[in-house]
Amino acid sequence: MSNQAFPAKINPRKWAEKGSSWTGDLPLSHFTRLVESLQGSAGVVKVSMEFGVDEERIRFVRGDLHTQVEMTCQRCLESVKLAVESDFSLGIVWHDEAAANLPSHYDPLIVSDEFVEMLPVLEDELIISLPLVPLHEDCEVKTEYGEAVEEVLDERPASNPFDVLTQLKLKK
């Protein structure tokens, strides 16, 4: 099932039993929750998914996602382009108890119904792959007015807050 239209809903257990896969490009604008953290929705997400059953009879979906996004640099507040990549390996389970028994190399994909929408699943993988603090490799901090930050040192000696008590003691 490669390079066909992205299916809105799939039966992941059947896809795993058949050993199906899907590879293609999806518009970044389809990932609405992700776009809320970005400066724009232009671009595509390269998607590659492979379904199967491993030697322990665990149904899985493995894949990778690649895209380029534009975010706000938290140091200079200018636009920064970042590559976002995610490799995922999800074990398909019915409920939380089964998810707790998955081997550590699988993250759970809880599918309590027959069908699942894969777009939100892929979107979750991209969201957790975003940097917590997007930054340019090399930029300057800007002040409110675009001036360089200068540190002004006070040349007066620091006053002792207990000098007042000393003066009171002398008056007695």
* pLDDT at 99 > cutoff 70: yes
Residue 78 counted as domain residue: yes
Quote the number of domains for the chain.
Answer: 1
Of 57-61, 86-90, 149-153, 156-160, the one with minimum mean pLDDT is: 149-153
Residue 76 counted as domain residue: yes
* pLDDT at 117 > cutoff 80: yes
Residue 168 counted as domain residue: no
24-42 residue pLDDT tens: 999 999 999 999 999 988 9
Residue 165 counted as domain residue: no
Between residues 5 and 120, which one has the greater pLDDT? 120
Write down the H helix ranges in the chain.
Answer: 12-18, 32-35, 96-100, 118-129, 163-171
122-170 residue pLDDT tens: 999 999 999 999 988 887 766 565 555 566 666 666 778 787 787 787 8
Residue 146 counted as domain residue: no
How many helices, marked H, and strands, marked E, lie in the chain? Answer: 5, 5
What spatial distance separates the first Cα and last Cα of the chain, rounded to whole Å? Answer: 95
Residue 69: name the closest of 56, 61, 79, 57 by CA. 79
Residue 2 counted as domain residue: no
The predicted pLDDT at position 162 comes to 80
Q: How far apart are CA 171 and CA 5, in angstroms?
A: 91
Residue 160 counted as domain residue: no
Any bridge partners for residue 45, and if so which?
26
Backbone angles phi, psi at 68, to 5 degrees: -125, 130
* pLDDT at 3 > cutoff 60: no
The predicted pLDDT at position 5 comes to 85
Q: How far apart are CA 36 and CA 4, in angstroms?
A: 28
Residue 29 counted as domain residue: yes
* pLDDT at 80 > cutoff 60: yes
Q: Please state, rounded to an integer, the average pLDDT across all residues of the chain.
A: 87
Average pLDDT of the residues in 74-89: 92
Question: Phi-psi category of 111—alpha, beta or left, where left has phi over 0 and alpha has psi -120 to 50?
Answer: beta
The predicted pLDDT at position 147 comes to 57
Supply the range of the domain harboring residue 74.
Answer: 9-129
Q: Which amino acid is at 57?
A: R
